[in-house]
Amino acid sequence: MALLELQNLHVALEDGTEIVKGVDLAVDRNEVHAVMGPNGSGKSTLAYSLMGHPGYQITEGQILFDGEDVTELAADERAQRGLFLAFQYPHAVPGVTVTSFMRSAINAIRKARAGEDDPVPIKDFRTEMLAQMEKLRIPRELAQRYLNDGFSGGEKKRVEILQMAMLKPRIAVLDETDSGLDIDALRVVADGVQDLVGPEMGALVITHYQRILNHITPDFVHVFVDGRIVEEGGPELAHKLEAEGYKPYEEAVA
Ligand SMILES: Nc1ncnc2c1ncn2[C@@H]1O[C@H](COP(=O)(O)OP(=O)(O)OP(=O)(O)O)[C@@H](O)[C@H]1O
Ligand SMILES: [Mg+2]
């Protein structure tokens, strides 16, 4: 059984509108899955529901993580188990610096795993954070600024990847992490993700464009239209989508 399994997942908005209409998907360690689909097809809704966002109701089906049914778990409990979501639109947290946010997040996960306070030694934290920031080419002064407050689009995305690198999730869901990045930043971010994918981590990469997939090679590509996966294949499918667009699929479901 894969580390993350979605079984017949249906997700509705608070007003009851169904957006995700029955998704089966299995993501394991050492695998990169790409989900590609047109605007408004429900990709972010799927990502939010995986993380346990309270605004998105799972109305049918289930989410299994490491064999455990996590469908009813709160977002922090999912994070403690090793699920991570990099947001399409990261929120600003005025008053909380990147460093203190990162340390609290790590310590919350450590506490949950140890069953008691088990704070990361400051020195270890600092060393690792500086190393990861350098790798992601994040300027040092950003660490002392309030999280995402006035950050450029590219800075927000890099800091999302920094969180991922620091938290070391088992499954990372990346929602449009490529949008708004210049070509160099795209490479840095993609390499950062690719480095982490391995025996400890698998990734679900939501994207519109083939270009991030030039840097992160997907093992599986899923075409997502109108709340459903309508086709699956290997990396070649992403090239086909780039050439032909989603029209043929959209016409098929219309
Ligand atoms: N909180 C919300 N309130 C109202 N409508 C919502 C909400 N969240 C999602 N929707 C609607 O659900 C549909 C799917 O949105 P979603 O953001 O999941 O699409 P997406 O595939 O991520 O699109 P994009 O490619 O543009 O990011 C859209 O019609 C959107 O307006
Ligand atoms: Mg989206």
Band (153; pLDDT cuts 50, 70, 90) = confident
The pair of structure tokens assigned to 102 is 């990162």
The pair of structure tokens assigned to 179 is 């949008």
Q: How far apart are CA 177 and CA 34, in angstroms?
A: 12
Is 247 in a helix, a strand, or coil? helix
Residue 123 falls in which region: left (phi positive, over 0), alpha (psi -120 to 50) or beta: alpha
Q: What is the number of helices (H) and of strands (E) in the chain?
A: 8, 12
Compute, in angstroms, the gap from residue 223 CA to the centroid of ligand 2. 14
- Which of 17-26, 145-154, 185-194 has the highest mean predicted lDDT (pLDDT)? 17-26
Q: Which of 237, 229, 248 is nearest to 210 (CA)?
A: 237
The pair of structure tokens assigned to 59 is 């109305």
Q: How far apart are CA 39 and CA 20, in angstroms?
A: 14
Nearest CA to ligand 1 atom 25: 39
Band (252; pLDDT cuts 50, 70, 90) = confident
pLDDT tens, position by position, 163-183? 999 999 999 999 987 777 888
Q: Is 43 in the pocket of ligand 1 (CB under 6 A)?
A: yes
Q: How far apart are CA 189 and CA 212, in angstroms?
A: 9
What does the chain come to in residues? 254
Q: How far apart are CA 162 and CA 155, in angstroms?
A: 10
Percent above pLDDT 70 for the chain: 100
Ligand nearest to the CA of 39: 1
Positive or negative: CA dihedral 208, 196, 181, 211: negative
Phi, psi at 253, each rounded to 5°: -90, -15
Contact between 227 and 249 under an 8 Å Cβ cutoff? The reply is no
Q: Is 39 in the pocket of ligand 1 (CB under 6 A)?
A: yes
DSSP string of 64-100, one letter each residue: EETTEE-TT--HHHHHHHTEEEE-SSPPPEEEEEHHH
> What ranges do the domains of the chain cover?
4-92+169-253
Nearest CA to ligand 1 atom 3: 13
* pLDDT above 90 (res 121): yes
DSSP annotation of 120: P
What's the pLDDT at 164? 93
Q: Name the residue type at position 78.
A: R
Report the atom number in ligand 1 closest to the C-alpha of 176: 27
Q: Is 44 in the pocket of ligand 1 (CB under 6 A)?
A: yes
pLDDT tens, position by position, 3-28? 999 999 999 999 999 999 999 999 99
Angle between helices 122-135 and 98-114 (to 10 degrees): 120
Compute, in angstroms, the gap from residue 45 CA to the centroid of ligand 1. 6
Question: Which residues does 204 contact at the CB level (< 8 Å), separation at least 6?
Answer: 4, 25, 27, 33, 35, 47, 50, 171, 172, 173, 174
pLDDT tens, position by position, 61-112? 999 999 999 999 999 899 999 999 888 778 888 999 999 999 999 999 999 8
CATH 3.40.50.300 fits 4-92+169-253, yes or no: yes
CA distances for 23 relative to 55, 185, 223, 246, angstroms: 19, 32, 11, 18
